[in-house]
Structure formats: structure tokens, C-alpha cells
Amino acid sequence: MNFGEKLGLTALRQLDPERAHKLSLYALKLGLTARPGPVTSPRLTTSFAGLLLPNPIGLAAGFDKNADAIAPLLDAGFGFIEVGAATPRPQPGNPKPRLFRLTQDRAAINRFGFNNLGAEQIAQNLANRPATGVVGLNLGANKDSGDRAQDYVDVLKICGGFVDFVTVNVSSPNTEKLRDLQGREALTALLSGVLDARGHLANKPPVFLKIAPDLSNAEIDEIAEVAETCGIDAIIATNTTLSRDGLTSPHRDQAGGLSGAPLFQRSTRVLARLAQRSQGKLPLIGVGGIGSAEQAYTKIKAGASAVQLYTAMVYQGLSLAADVARGLDDLLAADGFQNVADAVGIEMDRYL
């Protein structure tokens, strides 16, 4: 982190968190942030679910909800980015305030509730994206929808032709009863519908599933079985947690999903369980609490072929993406790995 970025982060932390988030996106679009381009090397190059990534460090969904800043984000050091979540119709989300910094815990709690401009506007933004770079879209459902499974299909039909992968998000804790879609019957029906709709798109983007960290081993195993049976391309583990274990910050009792450092161990356990259950056959993305190259490396050794960042950037800035990628390259070299794929899952049993 350079002096300018440190100064900018200090200023942003004096503002309401949601306003600071909007200003950071505005600064990106104005070109006021460093743009090193995708960090890459032979060790970092990653083949994942049919996608070729310059490095395995991604941006998680939620930062760029409306696909407003794709070009600068692709130049920020990431190997891939995910925008959204998008719902069929625009929706304002939950009442404000709905985003809280937990500075002492290096964490955040949000209860946004899928606020976005809707699939039609997001599709227009995606249509203007750069031709290069890997961009995915997180699919969501409207809060007042009468058929949430159909919502995912509708967003895919509208936006799917402009992205390189899509993620079925059934794990946000901020839309009432959304996590009920993680059950066997509901999830099978949902994924089958999405995969059928994907088959009608010319580009046929890979379909990922994003799951919650608050699952028992039996529930994780059931989701893995459904994923394999349906034939989805990857699982993202995990979304935010409802747990508040060990928090010390004043906002610790706010409702919503907790992200950041306290999520690291919980999400890594789910990741490792999935890796063990699928015996490495189902590609996994590790998310939750990553704030360093060492933590990204831990996720990879626990079974992730790629990882995603978000909350740590609140405290360490956008340069974190490039720093983690370069640091991971050094760690792989120090351990004698020729490519990051060689390290995937080598210590999964350690994190169960």
C-alpha cells in the first residue's frame, strides 16, 4: 500500500461505510487508483472450470453490484472478477444503515438485501465490458418474487451472454428464506432450471454455486452430491456467516452477514470438507477472511483452485489483490511448485 492509498483509506473510514463504498467505485471509474494490470506468472496461471485465469485471485461479488467499474477492476491485479448480485427487477434493498465496519475484528456486517439496478441495466453495462479479462455474474432473486427459482433463470437469460461464468447465490442471509434453496429438492430443481437455460446461450458460461458457511457436514455432503448429480462446474465456499463468535466490535450484534477475518476458519472448514467429499473432482473457489498471500495459500492447500477477496480491501486497499498474487507466487516458488494447481488440496485433512 502506497502513501496515497493509505491516505485515501483513512479518509474513507471517516465516512458512513456505504457512502465510502460508493466513493471508492467512483474513484475507480475516474482512474484515481493504481492499475498494475493482471498479475501473472507461469506459477500463477490457472485453468479453472474451462476458464484460463492469469492468476487465481478473484474479486468476490458485492463490490461492483451493477457492473459499473469492470475495466479498472480487471486492471487492479485480479485474475478474475465477479459482479452483482443481479435480480430480474431493480430493487432498493433493505433500509439503511445496512453496512457496518467491525474495525477491531477486521470484519464487516452487511444486510444489503440484493440492492441493484436490475438485470436489464446490468446487461447493458456488461455489454460494454472489455473484450479481455474473466468476468462473472452473481445471480439473485427479488425479495418479493413469487418464484425465486425462475428469477435466477430470468437473470441468466438477460445477462448470461455477456459474462464468462455465472454464480447461483442461494446463500445470502439477507433475503428471507433464500437459504432454504440449499435443501436437496429445491436446489436440484433450481440448478436444473439454470443449467437448462444455460444450454440455450451461445457462450454457455460455466455455472457455479455459492453456499453458506453455516452448514453441518451432512448438509455440505448433500450439496456436493446435488452439485455433482446436476453437473454444475464449481462451488464457491463461502458466503457470509450468521455466527458472531468471538467478536469484540461495537457493531457485533447488528443483523446481517458477517464477512472478514472472523470468517476465515469457518469458511476454510467448509471448503476442506467439500474438497474431501468430491475427492478433488469438483473445482472450488475459497472465499472468506482472506487478507494475505499466506491465507490465500491456506485456502488453496485446503482444496481451492482459486480464491476471492472483498472485506480485507476495506482495511488494506485495492492494492491487496496484486500484493496477494505476487506473494502467492513467492510462496509457491519457495515450496518448489511449478504451478498453483500442484498445491491444491495438499493439506485438506488439516482443516477438517
Interatomic CA distance for residues 54 and 52, integer angstroms = 7
Residues comprising the chain, all counted: 352
- C-alpha grid cell for residue 52? 484460463
Q: Hey, which bits of the chain come out as E strands?
A: 46-48, 51-53, 57-59, 80-86, 99-102, 107-110, 135-139, 165-169, 207-211, 234-237, 257-260, 284-287, 306-309
* Amino acid occupying residue 300: I
- C-alpha grid cell for residue 346? 495438499
- CA distance between the termini of the chain: 34
- C-alpha grid cell for residue 115? 440492492
Q: Concatenated DSSP letters for 199-265?
A: TTSSS---EEEEE-S---HHHHHHHHHHHHHHT-SEEEE---B---TT--STTTT-SSEEEEGGGHH
Task: Give me the active site residues, please.
Answer: 172
Interatomic CA distance for residues 244 and 257, integer angstroms = 10
φ, ψ dihedrals at 340, nearest 5°: -60, -30
Interatomic CA distance for residues 9 and 29, integer angstroms = 17
